[in-house]
Amino acid sequence: MSKSRLEAFSDGVIAIIITIMVLELKLPQGHNLESLIPMWPVFASYVMSFVYVGIYWNNHHHLLHAIKSVNGAILWANMHLLFWLSLVPFVTNWMGESHFYEIWPVVLYGFILLMNAIAYTILAVLLVRHEGEDSLLANAIGNDWKGRISLACYFVAIGLAWVSTYLSLALYVLVACIWFIPDRRIERKLATEHVKP
Amino acid sequence: MSKSRLEAFSDGVIAIIITIMVLELKLPQGHNLESLIPMWPVFASYVMSFVYVGIYWNNHHHLLHAIKSVNGAILWANMHLLFWLSLVPFVTNWMGESHFYEIWPVVLYGFILLMNAIAYTILAVLLVRHEGEDSLLANAIGNDWKGRISLACYFVAIGLAWVSTYLSLALYVLVACIWFIPDRRIERKLATEHVKP
Amino acid sequence: MSKSRLEAFSDGVIAIIITIMVLELKLPQGHNLESLIPMWPVFASYVMSFVYVGIYWNNHHHLLHAIKSVNGAILWANMHLLFWLSLVPFVTNWMGESHFYEIWPVVLYGFILLMNAIAYTILAVLLVRHEGEDSLLANAIGNDWKGRISLACYFVAIGLAWVSTYLSLALYVLVACIWFIPDRRIERKLATEHVKP
Amino acid sequence: MSKSRLEAFSDGVIAIIITIMVLELKLPQGHNLESLIPMWPVFASYVMSFVYVGIYWNNHHHLLHAIKSVNGAILWANMHLLFWLSLVPFVTNWMGESHFYEIWPVVLYGFILLMNAIAYTILAVLLVRHEGEDSLLANAIGNDWKGRISLACYFVAIGLAWVSTYLSLALYVLVACIWFIPDRRIERKLATEHVKP
């Protein structure tokens, strides 16, 4: 089964998710610069979620780039990832609207990030199993330290929300920074592979 | 006529349908965990419809994967399917907002699922006729027991709504479970075909 | 310049236009069958516009299928068509919400259909000029009687709105029926061409 | 790394941005022609932004058409451009809703156009660096006079908003006119290149 429609459908869904978040930027009450100030938490939430969804798209791109075909289980693992991604606009909005002060919106945001990370890991594991342990992808992913650190950070961040929601947010930003650089492992391996005949 | 634009357009429409449903998850009133509780019926509706639309995308993928070209009638049969799919967000929202207690929202949800199933069947029949009765697709679909059971379930579920809406919902979940597994018949036949020269 | 991205972008925009119209189907006030009745004009508008946008997608598909490359003027003629298509959801909503009783919403709906038809004609003319008067496309389009009848019908329909809005609507439905059948001229010519070496 | 998914994702995001702006065309209060009159600033904003987003899509199309592959930095530069494009619907709406009278909405609109222009320039610079200074793309872009004039115009327009918002708007329209013609430099160079063996 070819991977092209899987990519096209995922691109469509991720493109919509990343764009409909902007619909939550409601019109400010006034027409001067001050009227924009109360919007900063909603805007900051938007920026963070835009970066996160962008990271997922980038990594999804890299992950599927290295593979050759897909099967039914992979289709559903991909749909499962898209499901959790589709909830990002909701939690972004709730967290932004609560001005980062409230515990539960920050916790739920972390929970959705956590579920996305788990869904991504499941997809990666299924892809590696499908391609074989000696495949390009399996080598490229190797020991997934980034994924492990992210999962740990999300758990700690959720717990820290009861201490200070700003600590949780700092951890969310940290994870985004870790992932910001696209998965060079795959890129480098692919490059090496192309050099080797 | 090539099938690639038909796939691209369908992917786009289905991606939008599956994603705009999340816009109905309105912000909760408060900022604590309790404020999320009244949202569970809307969320449960969302999950069920996400799975259903995902199933349609998966099966659409399999159906078109096996064919080589399309004609004008197939283009319109596909548009007809997309029309009924496009009504899923509306009935999802109505059913969720009525907390599954009311008869008519549950009946209408079933009716839209039924019309989707009929539209899918029409598309499949036209594709088989276009490809020929001896084609890969015709063999792969064979006697469409899943489709027949689904149609029967939808009729029964609609009738049962006057007894208990929860019985109807149980049947909707059952049909989703039946279809959850992508159409292995086509997958297996294709695999066999590739082995045979 | 290749036509593939033009097709992909147009597919995306048309897919979004055809789908966001469903967001105008607001939740009914009650939970019984009667509460759906006041929605019929909005729903009827939706169905008509879905068919119209579907017709444009189908014809766009056929039009671009027959060509080999595009230029800057064609890119903008296509964007011009997408602009007028993007206004369809607005006029659909206004006409539906006014229950087809009011003159201006029906007139504006016809005006937007007219502008779409003109934009489509401009695109077709530019494509024929680009491909050459002896090209497959030029032969296939031939004397565009469907296009001419449509333009005439839109003008008459707009005028008739002051007599009865239902006459205008009847003409809109008539034009949709004329176009419903995809452009067999192109399909047939292409088929003939493939037979001839 | 191939450029096709980058194109597909960008097409999706730009298609959604250009289309969701129409959701801001709220239903008029009445059903006659007069009730449309108060909508003209929102509509005029919509038209201008539609043209701007169309220009970005056209130029993006041309820019990526000339290249062969992408890297991680280019993926993020593209995401950065999409981020600023995604804010266009918000500022369009704010400017339209303030009827072009207020200074800050017009300033913010110019600022978002400016950031888009900067993001586009960064993307173009990274692409030229990736392709090499002797590449087709580097030659085609040459000394980017259009880009420089645009940047200057945006700065002047933002400053002029305190004199008259209509002067700012005139400059925004002027820049749109400059860019309206797709980047013939690239088109011509490509054409020449194809003639030369």
- Residue C68, pLDDT > 90, answer no
* Confidence category of residue C87, pLDDT binned at 50, 70, 90: very high
Query: Tokens 């990002």 — which residue?
Result: A88
The mean pLDDT of C25-31, rounded to a whole number, is 89
D18 to chain C: which residues are within 8 Å by CB? 13, 82, 86
Sign of the CA dihedral with B23 first, then B28, B33, and B39 last: negative
CB contact under 8 A, C22 and B71: no
> One-letter amino acid identity for A130?
H
Q: Which of C12, C47, C58 sits opposite B75 (nearest CB)?
A: C58
Average pLDDT, stretch A117-127?
92
Digit-coded pLDDT (tens) for A40-61: 999 999 999 999 999 999 889 8
Mean per-residue pLDDT, C90-105: 93
Q: What is the predicted pLDDT for the residue at D14?
A: 95
pLDDT band at A3; cut points 50, 70, 90: confident
Tokens of A189: 């391996």
pLDDT of amino acid C72 = 82
% of chain A with per-residue pLDDT over 90? 54
Interface test with A, best of D9, D24, D25 (most A CBs within 10 A): D9
Q: Residue A196: what pLDDT? A: 39
Smallest CA-to-CA distance from C53 within C81, C78, C17 is with: C17
CB-nearest to C187 from B72, B94, B98 is B72
Kindly list the residues from chain C whose CB atom is less than 8 angstroms away from the CB atom of residue B71: 187
ipTM: 0.88
The burial of D27, by beta-carbon neighbours within 10 Å (0-12 exposed, 13-18 middle, 19 or more buried), is given as: middle
Look at residue A18 in the predicted model and tell me its pLDDT. 93
pLDDT in tens, D80-102: 999 999 999 999 999 999 999 99
Question: What are the residues of chain C with a beta carbon less than 8 Å away from any beta carbon of chain D?
Answer: 1-2, 5-6, 8-9, 12-13, 15-17, 20, 23, 71-72, 75-76, 79, 82-83, 86-87, 89-90, 93-94, 97-98, 102-105, 108
Q: What is the pLDDT along chain B (197 residues), one digit of tens a residue?
A: 678 889 889 999 999 999 999 888 888 988 888 999 999 999 999 999 999 999 999 889 888 887 878 888 898 999 999 999 999 999 999 999 999 989 999 999 999 999 999 999 999 889 988 887 777 777 767 667 788 889 999 999 999 999 999 999 999 999 998 887 655 555 566 565 544 33
The confidence score (pLDDT) of residue A189 equals: 60
DSSP D13-74: HHHHHHHHGGGGSPPPSSSSGGGGGGGHHHHHHHHHHHHHHHHHHHHHHHHHHT-----HHH
Q: Which of the two residues, C72 and C108, has the higher pLDDT score?
A: C108
Chains that touch C (3 or more CB pairs under 8 A): B, D
Say how far apart CA B9 and CA B3 lie, in whole Å.
10
Instruction: Give Rg (Cα) of chain A.
Output: 18
Give residue D113's pLDDT band: very low, low, confident or very high (50, 70, 90).
very high
- Kindly tell me the sign of the dihedral angle through the C-alpha atoms of C176, C177, C178, C184: positive
pLDDT of residue C3: 84
How far apart are the C-alpha atoms of D165 and B5, rounded to whole Å?
A: 44
Task: Give the chain D residue nearest A10 (alpha carbons).
Answer: D9
Query: What's the average model confidence in pLDDT over C12-26?
Result: 91
Question: To which residue do tokens 């565009």 refer?
Answer: C144
The residue type found at D1 is M
- Candidates A42, A74, A90: best to mutate against B (most CBs of B within 10 A) is A90
> Residue C69's closest CA among A30, B31, D194, D134?
D194
Q: What are the pLDDT digits (tens) for C169-195?
A: 999 999 998 887 655 555 566 555 544
Nearest to B89 among C16, C22, C58 (CB): C22
Q: CA torsion sign, C153 to C156 to C159 to C165?
A: negative
At D123-176, the pLDDT tens digits run 988 988 888 777 777 776 766 778 888 999 999 999 999 999 999 999 999 999
B183 to each of A72, B12, B67, B177, how far by Cα in Å? 8, 22, 15, 12
Q: Do B187 and A105 touch (CB under 8 A)?
A: no
C71 band by pLDDT with thresholds 50, 70 and 90: confident
- Distance (Å) from the alpha carbon of A61 to chain D's nearest alpha carbon: 7
CA distance to partner chain C, nearest, from residue B73 (Å): 8
Nearest to A22 by CA among A89, A108, A82: A89
* Statement: residue A138 has pLDDT above 80: no
Compute how many other C-beta atoms are within 10 angstroms of the C-beta atom of residue D81.
25
Cα B125 from Cα B121, distance rounded (Å): 6
> What distance in Å separates the CA atoms of residue B120 and residue B77, rounded to the nearest whole number?
8
Cβ contacts of C68 within 8 Å, gap of 6 or more: C3, C131
**Hey, of D31, D47, D184, D188, which one would you mutate to test binding to chain C, going by the most C CBs within 10 A of its CB?**
D31
In chain C, residues with a C-beta closer than 8 Å to the C-beta of B3 are none
% pLDDT > 70, chain D: 88
